Chain A
Amino acid sequence: MQTSDTSNEGPPKGLGPLAKREMRFAYLLLLPTFLIVLSVVLFPLIANVWISFKPVTLGDLRAPAILANERLMGDLAAAGDEADIRYRARNSSRKSAIADVVFTDTIPDSLSILTVDDRCVSDGPLLRCDLGDYAPGQREDIIVRVAASQAFIDAPDDIKDTKPAFTFEPENILTNGDFTLDNFRRVFNASDFWPVLWASMYYTIAGTVGALVMGLFAAQLMNITFGGRAFLRGLFLSPYVAPVIAVALAWVLLLDPGPGGTLNALLIQLGVIDGPISFLGQRAVEINLLGLSFDFPVALTVVIIFEIWRYFPLAMLFILARMQSVSTDIYEAAEIDGATPLQQFRFISLPQLMGIMAVLFLLRFIWTFNKFDDIFLLTGGAAGTRTLTVNVYEQAFAVSNLGAGAAVAVVVFFVLLCFSVIFFKFSPEDDA
């Protein structure tokens, strides 16, 4: 429509007016999404990198302020007596400076101002001082000499009736020019950096593979018809649907080694163990196998079992959906050819499921790596269960060093970026 016959250049270049309108409309529809994702995801990501290079602790987030008090120094017994009003001002922060401190106050009418500090000007009862910049923790006195009038002696005004007012530009600890590499140095030099990374990888790989295998198994169970199947499917999905805090705390009480712990009491009653096991508090137990002894991580394994328990339903759901879309003809043909059930599973079902399993593996791998709540609620990162994500919290909020936490977060993000590159390289085309 937009091309005329006179053009002999072939198809039109660029977008025609209709296409342009469509494009503008599309961008308009996407704009709100862009804005919110930009402000809550992309901007914080960059801000996180920024913070990781700054010496910021949790306490620094409270903006610095000028704290001041005023006091009348000297005796005003008769009219004409002189005294000092002393203002004592202090920068509340020991770390950040405050710029452009200006303070104003009103001196009662009954007192007349005689001399003022160099930086101040007085206009009748009004006092205004330009105090310049305050270094971190700086304090100083501002003295104003006043003389009393008869009115003051008769009915003394309290100079504190009018509070001194300050205006100032607090330096923002997040936006100032202080940068440091200490955060990264601290993270990489920490004695537990490699154990934390190892725990992360072990948790991610074992959790992902476990959830996938259990999901595959559960999907095989749900694929047979029997009474109560719908009910069981709902039940099997509930670990995934229930709030993480509810199920995590139920597990904590279930595994409690103290009196009242259900599982320990149960195992003792069954005669499986002699004394209670601290499932979530014991770092490792030594196991001897064929003369080789190695440390088996207890708490980390229990946390992984929880992860599998919570996420196998998701794998089950997807594998089940894929299995039900496979046509039955192929199984009937195999049946006629005399393939046994295991052979049918191995040579028909499994190859059909490989695609969805690969996608699930990659996605679950990344989300398991990102997981924070589960471990945090079960162990708080104790007993060898501190993964990188728990370490972010630990550094930033338990040790109160925001900068170090952000540095760990940067490490998390980099490891993730590597995974994502791999994911996009191997991503099958039919992942929807």
Chain B
Amino acid sequence: MSRFGNIFYLSVLFGALWGAIWAIIITLLALFISGLTFQPQVTAGVIAGVVAAALLVSQPMAKRTLGMRVLAGLAFLLVLVLASGAQPMGLPLDSYSAGQLVFTVLMAVVTVQSIHLTCGNLGPGHEKRYNVEVLCLRFIKGFGLVSFTIAVALPFFVMVMMSLKNQQLLLSNPLDFSIDFGQGFTALFRSYIELFTQYHFGTYLMNSALVSVATVAITLFFAVPGAYAVARLRFPGQNLLSRSILLIYMVPMIVLVIPLYAIFSQLGMRNTLWGLLFVYPATTIPVALYMLQGYFRGIPAELEEAGLMDGLTRLNVIRKITLPLALPALASVALYVFMIAWNEFLFAFMFLDNVDLFTLSRGIAELNSSEVPRQHLMAGAVIATVPVLALFLWFERFLVAGLTAGSVKG
């Protein structure tokens, strides 16, 4: 058995790929942050990655110490600089020197670490199919994590960064997301301040909060008794009902828009928040009912029967026994309904004409015109996103449990 087998060659291949991937990503990161026209040196990255991987993986497992990895990193740096003609990020080293040093070192660190994590405990020799697959899957998973993260984060990153810039700068160099912190708080957050002072975003925020909270309250008020009845009480049509709840859930909103628009127009309910408070719960109650009945079924019936035996009425059993036990479920349903109501666009867009009644979704749609600068549009998007995202991350566990327990609503 030779010293170098298939694992070694595969590792070198993955070293080349990691070198290319990180050369592109880190250079673009530097480009975004500095605003300078850096150019990823992919070929240099590939060569440097090959060298670093060969150096690291040629050692047997036990010798791949921290010192060895630092050595591989230094080799990566050296080869990168040499292969790119002393321009590791496509610009001469004397411009933005400190920054270039930081970013190339970062590039070396993440590349070597990626190679190390990919090749991990696999030696340079020949291995069977099992370990070859392990190696390949490690690379694919690592690559997947990196690309998923970038694909998911990029639009949010652009959203936040654009909201802090101004239109001229954005148009002249769209890749320059450098933030000038020297300009002070009010200048940096000018778009946000203007949205609240000139574009009524305070009102929109209030309306959105009002509509969402009221929708949650109405939904729970309707869905809790209904879910209890479906879960606990026996009545003809029970099975049919618990199945057909999901059917209602599949009626497209766009089919309801025309008749509701026509009827609400004639009743004078169209351009009101009451109209929304009528429609939103109707779309969320079936979901909430379905989720809650699942939870209620999970609560032991004996507890409630004990309550009944002790002389509580059904309503009091629900109030004093079932609801306290179902509190986590109520919280997750409430969060979920809040999310739907807060994000709802179609009905808010169709129904509301009056600026004083706009919800955030409707207000942002109003900003979407060529007369309003982009940073305002993105600032509006950030204002709408932050509350719901913060709430969600804060209570993620609840929401995840709630989502998977009963609903798949999109």
Contact = CB atoms under 8 A, between A and B. Distances in A.
Interface of A: 19, 22-23, 25-27, 29-30, 32-33, 36-37, 39-41, 43-45, 47-48, 50-51, 56, 61, 63, 172, 174, 217-218, 220-221, 224, 232-239, 241-247, 249-251, 253-254, 259-262, 265-266, 269-270, 309, 311, 314, 317-318, 321, 338, 340-342, 359-360, 363-364, 366-373, 377, 389, 392-393, 396-397, 402, 405-406, 409, 412-413, 416, 420, 432
7 A-B pairs with the lowest CB-CB distances in the bound complex, closest first? A40-B282, A370-B252, A246-B381, A47-B259, A29-B225, A26-B233, A44-B259
Given A217-B144, A246-B364, A364-B410, A44 B254 contact: no
A377 B145 CA distance: 29
B121 interface: no
B66 interface: no
A10 B66 CA distance: 83
Nearest to A306: B155
B342 interface: yes
A191 to B, nearest CB: 22
A43 B262 CA distance: 13
A318 B407 CA distance: 10
Interface in B192-239: 221-223, 225-226, 228-230, 233-236, 238
A246 B387 CA distance: 12
In terms of DSSP, what is the predominant structure of the interface of chain A?
Answer: helix
Contacts of A318: 404, 408
A270 to B, nearest CB: 7
A406 B256 CA distance: 9
B408 A174 contact: no
B156 interface: yes
B282 A37 contact: yes
A412 B262 contact: no
B28 interface: yes
Interface of B: 24, 28, 31, 37, 39-40, 129-130, 133-134, 137, 141, 144-145, 148-149, 151-156, 158-159, 162, 167, 170-172, 174-175, 221-223, 225-226, 228-230, 233-236, 238, 241, 247-248, 250-263, 265-266, 278-279, 281-283, 285-286, 289, 294, 314, 339, 342-343, 345-346, 350, 360-361, 364-365, 368, 374, 377-378, 380-382, 384-385, 388-389, 392-393, 396, 400, 403-406, 408-410
Given A36-B222, A242-B385, 9 more contacts: A22-B234, A33-B289, A37-B285, A45-B255, A61-B262, A221-B144, A238-B392, A247-B381, A389-B254
Nearest to B148: A218
Contacts of B256: 40-41, 44-45, 48
Contacts of A237: 392, 396, 400
Contact of B281 (A36, A56, A311, A406): A36
Contacts of B343: 242-244
Given A30-B226, A314-B408, A341-B137, A409 B254 contact: yes
B345 A245 contact: yes
Nearest to B382: A246
Contacts, number: 287
Given A246-B382, A250-B155, A368 B410 contact: yes
Nearest to A247: B155
A412 B257 CA distance: 13
A245 B374 CA distance: 14
A168 to B, nearest CB: 16
Contacts of A392: 254-255, 257-258
A297 to B, nearest CB: 21
Given A32-B226, A260-B174, A392-B255, A243 B410 contact: no
10 contacts: A25-B233, A32-B226, A174-B263, A174-B266, A243-B361, A243-B384, A253-B374, A260-B171, A309-B151, A359-B408
Contacts of B241: 30
A221 B141 CA distance: 6
B282 A262 contact: no
Contact of B234 (A23, A41, A253): A23
Contact of A27 (B133, B235, B406): B235
Contacts of B361: 243-245
Contacts of A22: 233-235
Contacts of A218: 144, 148
B155 A254 contact: yes
Contacts of B365: 245
Contact of B159 (A246, A412, A413): A246
A48 B233 contact: no
